[in-house]
Amino acid sequence: MEAVLSELEVALGHGFANPDLLVCALTHRSLANQQLTESVSNAPQTGSDNERLEFLGDAVLGLVVGEALFLLHPEWNEGELTRVRAQLVSRQHMADVATSIGLGEHLRLSRGEDRTGLRRKSTVLSNTMEAVIGALFLDGGLEAARVFVRRFVMGDVVEQLAEELRSGAALGNYKSALQERLQAGQTGTPVYKVKSESGPDHRKRFLVEVRVKSGEGQPGKPLARGTGSTKKHAEQDAARRALARLANAAFPASSNEEELGVE
């Protein structure tokens, strides 16, 4: 066990003064339940699984990422900070971080769950990564957690996300970006409406228009139109075109397709 922990400590960049914290962070509830059921006396006992540490680690992760983004990007507004933080603390990204340090190899699972391949599942990896961050915080304080998060969770990813924000891509979600853009300017909220459908069922094309709904509740001037093979794709395309238009001009005065950017 000590050799296994030592290997993981090297990957984490932190030597634990209380190794039991790391053992607990690695212990899935399936193993804790198995040990209680079988009363295994010769196995390392943790007394609990990692779910409480996961709860703590989630809070520490949000704090450290939020602090770093706040300091690194004073030009970002609340919406931009929130979107980037959401990407960095997302389940998939945290699972990727766990994979990068080989965390799955160190998980402590029941025999049954180990056979199912649970140690490779993104949800388990993400949750365990948060538990480990909680253990880092308890063992080495906020600075230990901060060093790990900034190196492995943030790293170069922050600049990639920053570039997406600068390009107006809104991290792949144009609808969210448009809504935040309009709300920030106290203009209103976007409203999407399907204008037409064409093509056979297996090759549908949707034309969607996005307008701004004012505080009075009435849809205002149209911003843009977009097309796509599904309603959702067409809405995203309309939002993308609206963002591009807002970046260069005021709201369009009419709703003809040429002015709204439909090709």
H helix runs in 118-156, sequence order: 122-148
130 catalytically annotated = yes
AA identity, residue 254: S
Q: Which of 63, 261, 98, 80 is nearest to 176 (CA)?
A: 80
The amino acid sitting at 71 is L
From 54, 80, 113, 130, the catalytic residue? 130
Q: What angle do CA 170, 171, 177 make, to 5 degrees?
A: 25
DSSP, collapsed to helix, strand or coil, labels residue 17 as coil
d(CA 104, CA 143) in angstroms, rounded, equals 24
Q: What are the phi and psi torsion angles at 24 (to 5°)?
A: -65, -40
Record the tokens describing residue 79, joined without a space. Answer: 């919406």
Annotated catalytic residue within 58, 113, 209, 235: 58
How many helical (H) and strand (E) elements, i.e. helices and strands, does the chain have?
11, 3
Catalytic residues: 58, 130
